[in-house]
Amino acid sequence: MEDAKPIQSGRITEYEINTILGRIQEVGRDLGKDLQFIWIPTLRSVLCSGTITDQDGDGVITNNDVILWLDKYSEIALLSKYFDYVFPQPGYYFADKIGANCNQIEYTYSLLVDILRWIKNSNPSNVYIEMEADGAVRSSEYKLQRACDYVSSQEAISGSIWENRAYYFDWDINIVPYIRNTCPKW
Ligand SMILES: [Ca+2]
């Protein structure tokens, strides 16, 4: 590829990602195994860095500006072709706000729904979601609700939870059944 582009401040280039993919496929052939190349990018790096400005020019900052911001700065649509699956981390469980280092705009449930709709509609079909939670769900109704919102937001968009998902649950796998006591489809 001649148009190798530095990704995220030059830490890795598109050319290098393609080279890693080639190596994985080569090893997979040697071993006779179907190896997969999976990417779990954090959306917080795009959503929290910088002050989100009025992208659509209507004078107010709304969900639409956040979606246009993602269109402008996310590299997921560009790079997902190199991966078997991509599971963006919405960051909603961890961040109550986004923009200017997670301190500018409320990360509301309606924004989560719009961001998941963006994941589905503005990215290739191998892009899904990472479910996110940690031990705080055990002691905080608020955190448990934020975790369960990942289920209802997928259902709001697709009528059901997405068929492929990655999971972040800190170090304790028992977090998953704990959350499922409240929202069984998590
Ligand atoms: Ca606006």
Beta strand 12-13 pairing with 6-7: antiparallel
The chain-wide mean pLDDT, for the chain, equals 94
User: Which whole number is the average pLDDT over 85-91?
Assistant: 98
d(CA 136, CA 16): 38
Query: DSSP 3-state assignment of 99?
Result: coil
**51 CA from centroid of ligand 1 (Å):** 13
User: Which whole number is the average pLDDT over 95-124?
Assistant: 96
**77 CA from centroid of ligand 1 (Å):** 23
**102 CA from centroid of ligand 1 (Å):** 19
**154 CA from centroid of ligand 1 (Å):** 25
**5 CA from centroid of ligand 1 (Å):** 30
**18 CA from centroid of ligand 1 (Å):** 36
Banded pLDDT at 143 (limits 50, 70, 90): very high
d(CA 58, CA 62): 9
pLDDT for position 12: 86
Judged by average pLDDT, the poorest of 12-16, 34-38, 84-88, 153-157 is 12-16
User: Which whole number is the average pLDDT over 137-156?
Assistant: 98
Banded pLDDT at 1 (limits 50, 70, 90): very low
User: Which whole number is the average pLDDT over 97-120?
Assistant: 96
Q: Is 70 exceeded by the pLDDT of residue 135?
A: yes
Query: Around Cβ 2, how many Cβ atoms within 10 Å?
Result: 4
pLDDT tens-digit map of 5-48: 555 556 888 999 999 999 999 999 999 999 999 999 999 999 99
**35 CA from centroid of ligand 1 (Å):** 43
**62 CA from centroid of ligand 1 (Å):** 5
d(CA 107, CA 127): 21
pLDDT for position 49: 87
Q: Is 70 exceeded by the pLDDT of residue 150?
A: yes
Banded pLDDT at 2 (limits 50, 70, 90): very low
Residue ranges of the domains in the chain?
1-35, 39-182
